[in-house]
């Protein structure tokens, strides 16, 4: 069963999540200084979430991303909630990452605030309810 009941629900959750990341000084400074751009390509439901220093964009890609991360919304829910570990997700191809390896190595550790906040954001949105 999919984690999200609709594209709108998934978009709301991921937009909130990444806006919180952009409020984190360390994250936003690094994104801006390194010109870091990330495209999350989700399936089930189909949608994209683009992140850069200026904001979060759903189904809009203003510039070519430095990193592209592909996964289902259900895998994203499992990842952000801590039920799916990144190394396992990559090894089993539940998550596919392309782009600059240096940018990926820099990006992943900065995601901790998202992992900390996701369970409450998802619960508030009725994910898996």
Which pLDDT does position 16 carry in this prediction?
96
Q: Is the pLDDT of residue 129 over 60?
A: no
On average, the pLDDT of the chain sits at 91
Which pLDDT does position 83 carry in this prediction?
93
> What contacts 22, CB < 8 A, 6 or more positions away?
28, 31, 51, 53, 55, 56
pLDDT digits (tens, 9 = 90+) for 73-119: 999 999 999 999 888 998 899 999 998 777 777 777 888 888 899 99
């Amino acid at each position: 069963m999919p984690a999200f009941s609709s594209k709108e629900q998934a978009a709301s959750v991921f937009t909130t999540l990444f806006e919180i990341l952009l409020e984190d000084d360390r994250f936003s400074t690094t994104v801006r200084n390194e010109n870091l751009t990330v495209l999350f390509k989700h399936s089930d439901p189909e949608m994209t979430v683009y992140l850069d220093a200026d904001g979060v964009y759903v189904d809009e890609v203003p510039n070519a991303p430095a990193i592209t991360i592909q996964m289902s919304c259900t895998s994203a829910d499992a990842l952000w909630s801590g039920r799916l570990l990144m190394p396992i997700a990559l090894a089993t191809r539940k998550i596919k990452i392309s782009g600059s390896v240096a940018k990926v190595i820099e990006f992943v550790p900065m995601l901790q605030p998202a992992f900390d906040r996701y369970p409450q954001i998802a619960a508030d949105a009725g994910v898996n309810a």
